[in-house]
Amino acid sequence: MPPDASLLTTQEYEKQQFIRCNTFGHAWFDYDNSDWTPEWGEPLVLRCERCGSERRDTISTSTGDIIGRHYFHPDGYSYDRGTRPTRSEFRILLLAKKIEERGKPKRRKAADTP
């Protein structure tokens, strides 16, 4: 059974927001980030549409090889060493979250009421 959200610490709640990315991997799209220019090579920046993580690759213009890669994650995304759940544990957490979401009654918009 999923934990009661009112009993979760802020850090635990934030981590629940990233369950899908930790279960499936990120949903990347290419993104122009004018704030970052590598010293050499061409930048290729990807951003996750679910959690906002950013992957910054430096690409060799002559070979196309990746010559550098850095990740930038939102606050609350990372786990302390040795505390990150396994992929299987993330799947269990996701299933619990989906069951919880299914059980919540949907809010009706004012226009939907008779």
DSSP output for 51-86:
T--EEEEEE-TTT--EEEEEEE--TT----TT-PPP
- In this structure, what are the phi and psi dihedrals at residue 92, rounded to the nearest 5 degrees? -65, -45
What pLDDT sits at residue 63?
96
Torsion angle of C-alpha atoms 9, 89, 20, 32, degrees rounded to 10: 90
Spans of all domains in the chain: 5-102
What pLDDT sits at residue 52?
93
What pLDDT sits at residue 14?
57
> What span, in angstroms and rounded, lies between the C-alpha atoms of 57 and 50?
20
Tens of pLDDT, residue by residue, the chain (114 residues): 344 544 555 556 556 779 999 999 999 999 987 788 888 899 999 999 999 999 999 999 999 999 999 999 998 898 899 999 999 999 998 998 888 888 866 666 666 555
Torsion angle of C-alpha atoms 49, 4, 95, 71, degrees rounded to 10: 30
pTM: 0.69
